[in-house]
Amino acid sequence: MTTAPGRHAIHSYRFNAMGCPCELQLDAEAADAARAAAAAQAEVDRLDRKYSHYRDDSLVARIGAAADAGHAVEVDAETADLLDFAATLHAQSNGRFDVTAGALTKLWDLRASRVPDADALATALARTGWQRVEWRRPRLRLTLPGMRLDLGGVVKEYAADRAAQCCREAGVGHGVVDLGGDIAVVGAHRDGAPWLAGIKAPHDTGRAIAMIELLHGGLATSGDYERVMIVDGRRYSHIIDPVTGHPVESFASVSVVADSCLVAGAASTMGMLLGVDAGDEWLRGLGLPYLCVDAAGRTRGTLLR
Amino acid sequence: MGSAMRFSPSLAALMSAAAALVPDAHAQSTTAAETDARVSYRFNDYSEDAFSGAAIGDRDRYRVLSQQFQLATPVGADAALSVSATHEVMSGSSPWYVLADLQQRPLQVMSGATIQEHRNELRASWTQGTGSAGGTTYSASYSKERDYRALAAGIERSQPLGAAVTLGYGGSFSHDAIDPFEAAKYNRIDHASKNTASVFGSIAWIIDRSTVLQAGLQLNNEHGYLSDPYKLASVGHDVVADARPGRRDAVAALLRYRRAFAGPDAALHLDYRYAQDSWGVVSHTLEAAWYQTLPAHWEFVPALRYYSQQQARFYAPFYADIGDHNFVSSDYRLGTFGAVALSVNVRKRIGQWEFSGGVERYHAATGYAIGGADAPVPGVVSYTRAFIGLDYLLR
Amino acid sequence: MAFVLGLGALAGCATTPVQPWERGRLARWDMRWDPDPLQAAMADHTHFSKEGSNGHVGAAGGGCGCN
In C, which residues are within 8 Å of A25 by CB distance? 4, 6
Look at strands B282-294 and B298-310 and give their pairing.
antiparallel
- Of A97, A116, A150, at which residue does a domain stop? A150
Q: Tell whether C6 is within 8 A of chain B (Cβ).
A: no
pLDDT bracket for residue B32 (50, 70, 90): very low
Subunit contact B70:C38, Cβ cutoff 8 A: yes
Q: For residue C65, what pLDDT is reported?
A: 58
pLDDT per residue as tens digits for the range A73-102: 999 999 999 999 999 888 888 888 899 988
Q: CA of A200, closest CA in chain C: separation in Å?
A: 6
* Domain spans in chain B, listed from the N-terminal domain onward: 39-394
- C2–A221 CB contact, under 8 Å: yes
- The structural architecture, per CATH, of the domain B39-394 is Beta Barrel (2.40)
Q: Is the pLDDT of residue C57 over 50?
A: no
> Rounded CA gap, B96 and B17, in Å?
73
Hey, are the CB atoms on B296 and A29 less than 8 Å from each other?
Answer: no
Burial class of residue A223 (count of CB atoms within 10 Å of its CB; 0-12, 13-18, 19+): buried
> Euclidean distance between the first and final Cα of chain C, in Å?
66
Q: Are residues A185 and A260 in the same domain?
A: yes
pLDDT surpasses 50 at B362? yes
Query: What's the mean pLDDT when you consider all of chain A?
Result: 86
Edge to edge, what strands does the sheet with A253-258 contain?
A: A11-17, A20-26, A175-179, A182-187, A218-223, A253-258, A290-293, A299-300
CB contact under 8 A, B1 and A288: yes
Residue A225: inside a domain = yes
Q: Which residue of A has its CA nearest to C18?
A: A305
> Which residues make Cβ contacts (< 8 Å) with residue B343, sequence separation at least 6?
B302, B303, B304, B305, B358, B359, B360, B361, C43
The residue among A51, A155, A172, A288 with the most chain B CBs within 10 A of its CB, best to mutate, is A288
Tell me the one-letter amino acid at B189: I
B327 touches chain C (CB under 8 A): no
| % of chain B with per-residue pLDDT over 70 | 92
Q: Is the pLDDT of residue A7 over 70?
A: no
Q: Supply the pLDDT for residue A227.
A: 67
Chain-chain contact of B1 with A259 (C-beta, under 8 angstroms): yes
Kindly list the residues from chain C whose CB atom is less than 8 angstroms away from the CB atom of residue A289. Answer: 19, 21
The reply to whether A156 falls in a domain is: no
Q: Which residue range forms the structural domain that includes residue A78?
A: 54-150
Which of residues 188 through 247 in chain B touch C, CB cutoff 8 A?
196, 198, 200, 202, 204, 206-212, 214, 216-218, 220, 222, 228, 230
Q: Which residues of B touch A192 (CB under 8 A)?
A: 32
Give the C-alpha separation, B157 to B153, whole Å: 14
Question: How many domains, chain A?
Answer: 2
Q: What is the DSSP letter of A28?
A: S
pLDDT band at B101 (very low <50, low <70, confident <90, very high): confident
From A294, A288, A267, select the one nearest A97 (Cα to Cα).
A267
Instruction: State the pairing for strand pair B148-160/B211-224.
Output: unpaired
Task: Based on the fold, state whether residues A290 and A200 are members of the same structural domain.
Answer: yes
Under 8 Å CB-to-CB from B171, ≥6 apart: which residues? B154, B155, B197, B198, B199, B200
C-alpha B38, offset from chain centre: 22
State the pLDDT at residue A3: 36
d(CA C1, CA A260): 17
- The CA distance from C46 to the nearest CA of chain A, in Å, is 30
Task: Read off the amino acid at residue B387.
Answer: F
Contacts of B62 in chain C (CB under 8 A): 67
Minimal Cα distance from B351: which residue of A?
A29
**Residue A205: pLDDT band with limits 50, 70, 90:** low
Tell me the nearest-neighbour CA distance from A214 into chain C, angstroms: 6
Residue A268, SS3?
helix
- The 10s digit of each residue's pLDDT in C1-54 is 455 543 322 222 233 456 554 555 676 788 889 898 899 988 988 998 889 886
**pLDDT the model gives residue A23:** 93
In a domain, A72, yes or no: yes
Contact yes or no for C30 and B31 at CB 8 A:
no
Q: What would the mean pLDDT of B373-381 be, rounded to a whole number?
A: 82
Asked if C7 reaches chain B (Cβ–Cβ under 8 Å), the answer is no
Pairwise CA distance, residues A269 & A283, whole Å: 11
Chain C environment of A205 (Cβ under 8 Å)? 1
HEC profile of chain B: CCCCCCCCHHHHHHHHHHCCCCCCHHHHCCCCCCCCEEEEEEEEEEEECCCCCCEECCCCCCEEEEEEEEEEEEECCCEEEEEEEEEEEEEECCEEEEEECCCCCEEEEECCCEEEEEEEEEEEEEEECCCCCCEEEEEEEEEEECCEEEEEEEEEEEEECCCCEEEEEEEEEEEEEECCCCCCCCCCCCCEEEEEEEEEEEEEEEEECCEEEEEEEEEEEEEECCCCCCCEEEECCEEEECECCCEEEEEEEEEEEEEEECCCCEEEEEEEEEEEECCCCEEEEEEEEEEEEECCCEEEEEEEEEEEEECCCCECCCECCCCCCCCEECCHHHCCEEEEEEEEEEEEEECCEEEEEEEEEEEEEHHHCCCCCCCCCCCCCCEEEEEEEEEEEEC
Q: Do C2 and A189 touch (CB under 8 A)?
A: no
For position B132, what pLDDT does the model report?
66
Chain C residues with beta carbon closer than 8 angstroms to that of A180 = 1
On whether the CB atoms of residues A130 and A86 are closer than 8 A, the answer is yes
Q: What is the DSSP letter of C2?
A: E
Of the candidates A110, A147, A113, A122, the residue with the CA atom closest to the CA atom of residue A132: A147
pLDDT on residue B392: 92
- Are residue A146 and residue A177 in the same domain, yes or no? no
Q: Which chains touch C (3 or more CB pairs under 8 A)?
A: A, B
Residues of C in contact with B32 (CB under 8 A): 27
What backbone torsions phi and psi does residue B256 show, to the nearest 5 degrees? -130, 135
User: Which residues numbered 212-271 in A keep a CB inside 8 Å of some CB on B?
Assistant: 215-218, 258-260, 262-263, 266-267
Instruction: Indicate which CATH number applies to the domain containing A98.
Output: 1.10.3980.10
What integer pLDDT is reported at residue B259 of this predicted model?
Answer: 93
Residue A52 · residue A44 · CB < 8 Å: no
Higher pLDDT, A238 or A131: A131
pLDDT tens digit string along A228-273? 777 777 777 778 888 888 888 888 889 999 989 999 999 999 888 8
> Does a structural domain hold residue A74?
yes
Say yes or no: A84 contacts chain B, CB-CB below 8 A: yes
Chain C residues close to A265, C-beta within 8 Å: none
Residue A196 with chain C: CB contacts under 8 Å: 4-8
On the question of pLDDT at B9 being above 80, the answer is no
B67 pLDDT above the threshold of 90: yes
**Is A171 near chain B, with CB under 8 Å?**
yes
On the question of pLDDT at A184 being above 80, the answer is yes
pLDDT at C16: 45
User: A253 and C8: CB-CB below 8 Å?
Assistant: no
> Which residues in chain A are contacts of C24 at CB distance < 8 A?
188, 192-194, 213-215
Helix (H, G, I), strand (E, B) or coil at A199: strand
Report if residue A221 sits inside a domain: yes
Rounded to the nearest angstrom, the minimum Cα separation between A291 and chain C is 12
| Alpha-carbon gap: C40 to the closest alpha carbon of chain A (Å) | 20
Contact status of C4 with chain B (Cβ, < 8 Å): no
Last residue of a domain, one of A119, A135, A150: A150
> Does A260 lie in the same domain as A187?
yes
Quick one: pLDDT band at residue B2, thresholds 50, 70, 90?
very low
B394 shares contact with chain A (CB less than 8 Å): no
User: pLDDT class for B3, splitting at 50, 70, 90?
Assistant: very low
pLDDT at B1: 31
Q: Do both A108 and A195 map to the same domain? A: no
Q: Per residue in B242-289, pLDDT tens?
A: 999 999 999 999 999 999 887 788 999 999 999 999 999 999 999 999
Q: Pairing mode, if any, of strands B114-128 and B106-110?
A: unpaired
pLDDT for position B233 = 87
Q: Report d(CA B133, CA A203) in Å as an integer.
A: 41
Cα dist from A42 to A17, A30, A48, whole Å: 10, 18, 10
DSSP track, C7-62: --------SSPPPGGGTTGGGSGGGSS-SSHHHHHHHHHHHHHHSSS---TT----
Q: Is A49 helix (H, G, I), strand (E, B) or coil?
A: helix
Examine the pLDDT at C58 and tell me if it is beyond 80.
Answer: no
Do B297 and A84 count as a contact with CB atoms less than 8 A apart?
Answer: no
Interchain pair B22, A165: CB under 8 A: yes
- Say if A3 is an interface residue toward chain B (CB within 8 Å): no
Residue pair B284/B274 in contact by the 8 Å Cβ criterion = yes
Of C33, C55, C65, the CB nearest to B218: C55
Do A198 and A281 lie in one domain? The reply is yes
Query: What are the φ/ψ torsions at residue B11 (nearest 5 degrees)?
Result: -65, -40
CB A260, CB A218: distance < 8 Å: yes
pTM summary value: 0.63
Phi, psi at B14, each rounded to 5°: -65, -45
CB distance C38–B381 less than 8 Å?
no
**Residues ≥6 apart with Cβ < 8 Å to C3:** A178, A181, A197, A198, A200, A208
Is there a single domain that holds both residue A218 and residue A285? Answer: yes
Are A141 and A236 members of one domain? no
* Secondary structure of residue A200 in the 3-state scheme: strand
Q: Cα–Cα distances in Å, from A10 out to A176, A288, B321?
A: 10, 29, 74
Condensed to tens digits (0 to 9), the pLDDT of residues A52-72 reads 878 888 899 899 899 899 889
Q: How far is CA B232 from CA B229, B240, B253, in A?
A: 8, 6, 32
Q: Is B93 part of the contact surface with chain C (CB cutoff 8 Å)?
A: no
Whether B69 has a pLDDT exceeding 90, the answer reads yes
The SS3 of residue A267 is helix
Could you tell me if residue A161 is inside a domain? no
pLDDT attached to residue B296: 80
Least confident residue range of A22-36, A219-233, B327-341: A219-233
Dist. CA A168–CA A189, nearest whole Å: 13
A240, A288: one domain = yes
Do residues A94 and A187 share a domain?
no
What tens digit of pLDDT does each residue of B108-149 get?
888 876 678 899 999 999 999 876 678 999 999 999 998 899
My answer on whether A127 and A221 are in the same domain is no
Enumerate the residues of chain B whose CB falls inside 8 A of the CB of residue A82: 21
Residue in chain A lying closest to C1 (CA):
A181
Let me know whether A179 and A223 are in one domain: yes
> What three-state secondary structure class fits A164?
helix
Chain C touched by B336 (CB under 8 Å): no
Domain boundary among A115, A150, A185: A150
Which of A196, A214, A224, A293 should we substitute to test contact with C (largest number of C Cβ atoms within 10 Å)? A196
Closest CA to B72 of C36, A28, A159: C36
Question: What separation in angstroms does the CA of C30 have from each of A161, C33, C60?
Answer: 30, 8, 23
Following DSSP, what letter does each residue of A90-126 receive, concatenated? Answer: HHHTTT-S-TTBHHHHHHS-GGG-SPPPHHHHHHHHH
